[in-house]
Amino acid sequence: MPIKILFENSVFSWVVITTIIVFIIIINGFLAMKTIEDLSATQSSLYNTSDVIGELDDLHNVVLMAETGQRGYLLTEIPEYLTPYENALDRLSEQLNDIEKLDSEVPGQKKRIESLIVLVEQKIIELIHTVELAQANEEKHALKQVMSGRGRNLYKELRAQLENIKLLEINYRNTLFAILATVEREAKVTFGISGITSTLLLLGLAFFARLNSKGEVKYRLQLEQQNDILAEKVAMRTKELTLYSDELSRSNRELEDFAFVASHDLQEPLRKIRAFGDRLQTNYAQLLDEKGADYINRMKNAAERMSNLINDLLEFSRISTRGKPFTNVHLQQVITSTIEDLEISIEESDAQIQLADLPVINADSSQMNHLFINLISNAIKFRRADVKPLIDINYCQEQIALEQWHIITVKDNGIGFEQEFADKIFVPFQRLHARTEYKGTGIGLAICRRIVERHGGNISATSVLGEGTRFRIEIPVNNTLINLIRDNTNAQQ
């Protein structure tokens, strides 16, 4: 099984396990929170109903104390019995306020408590009325009021209502105790399940960790095997590339030797052809008719073109193999020197050259000189009739793909060409015009491209027929590494 599939399966397994663990933790947390909330709610209800029962008991006791103080004063007419009676009345007022604030959870209990409060208030009025009669020396009326049984009936009704309310609260409290016991049992079960699931999770994690450890060892061994295979393939490929590089270097040396020998061997016959042509033209001109003289001129022109072509080919082949190491080159000085070399052509064509401030770049000085000689001489050669050549050389620096580049443009106002031929002009021997119109071997711009590419850059052309051409040269600012690589390659060759 491929390493990638094994890794994906391992990741998927851990995702599933993690999801299950998180799901179980969430369920346990939810059950625990629900149990805690149920316990809290039940306990709160128990506290509330206990408060209600306690307040009812206190109310009953205070009513009994008031009635006991009243009867003691009526029977003995001793003023000391009025003290507990009056204290009880004061407490009754506070107790009724507390009773009114009670919020029982028993259905209908609020109305029952309101009825109880009304009965207590009636009982208080009866007690106060009886004591006031006794204090006004109307003991007989007071005793008669007591003996009428009205106060006893009020108390019985009050007590019955109070006992009913209290009984309902006690029953509700017993129900809450039963609920609390159930919740406690459920809590034990819930926490027991949580403990069991947690234990199982720990055991599962330990199991999967052990399983994963074994899987990692297995995957690591397979990965090491794959790495060994890959390293062996890389070594084999490196060996093949080394052999290919050696073969290419040998081929390049042979090709260069062949180019040198071929150029030397080809140039020698051409020199003899030109020399014997000159002798025929000088010594036997009077013996030749017009047609013979034309043949000799054609022969000499062909020999000269052949010589130029051989020289250009040789130069084209040596751009990479015979280039000099890169140094800091002042382009301003290079182009100024180039303009001086082309001084005669510039004067004859009355050309004007506008030169911007140019930088110092890391380059091969002689090849830069050759580059701009070709571009400027082309701008002069391919000029429009009766139009003075205007050549504009500019410079800027741009950032392309996070790298800084020198951008040099050479623009002219010459004959131009159709844009569809923009790539064709950089191919060796590709001409857009007849040889009779413009002289040349058709290899100059191909040399320009080779020079720029050796410097790690690009050259392109944009043109409009009849309006001129603009050449754009792009050379990386940091091309030191390119120079080192090319120097090492040349040294190997």
Provide mean pLDDT across the span 190-195. Answer: 73
225: phi > 0 → left, psi -120 to 50 → alpha, else beta; which?
Answer: alpha
Q: Is the pLDDT of residue 389 over 80?
A: yes
The domains found in the chain, sorted by start residue, are: 3-215 (1.20.120.1730), 324-492 (3.30.565.10)
Contact 113, 99 (CB under 8 A): yes
- For residue 145, the one-letter residue type is Q
Contact 117, 99 (CB under 8 A): yes
In terms of pTM, does the model score above 0.75? no
pLDDT, residue 151, reads 64
In terms of Cβ atoms closer than 10 Å to its own Cβ (0-12, 13-18, 19+), residue 38 is middle
* pLDDT tens digit sequence for 129-173: 777 666 666 555 555 555 555 667 777 787 888 788 888 888 888
Tokens (6 digits) for 263: 């150029």
pLDDT, residue 406, reads 92
* pLDDT tens digit sequence for 414-472: 888 888 878 888 877 666 655 555 665 667 788 888 889 888 899 999 988 888 899 99
What DSSP character marks residue 108? Answer: T
* pLDDT tens digit sequence for 244-300: 767 766 766 666 666 666 666 666 777 777 777 778 777 877 777 887 777 777 777
Average pLDDT, the chain: 76
pLDDT, residue 218, reads 76
What whole-number distance in Å separates Cα of residue 333 and Cα of residue 327?
14
Tell the residue number behind the tokens 């090849």, with chain if given: 367
Tell the residue number behind the tokens 């003996």, with chain if given: 147
pLDDT, residue 146, reads 56
In Å, what is the CA distance from 282 to each residue of 161, 279, 288, 305? Answer: 157, 5, 11, 21
- For residue 167, the one-letter residue type is L
* Beta strand pairing call for 352-355 and 390-400: parallel
pLDDT, residue 145, reads 55
What whole-number distance in Å separates Cα of residue 151 and Cα of residue 409?
123
**Band of pLDDT at residue 412, cut at 50, 70 and 90:** very high
pLDDT, residue 227, reads 83
* Sequence-separated (6 or more) residues with CB below 8 Å from residue 339: 346, 353, 355, 376
Closest C-alpha to 52, from 7, 16, 100, 6: 100
pLDDT, residue 431, reads 62
| Torsion sign (Cα): 381, 383, 388, 394 | negative
What whole-number distance in Å separates Cα of residue 406 and Cα of residue 387?
31
Contact 50, 106 (CB under 8 A): no
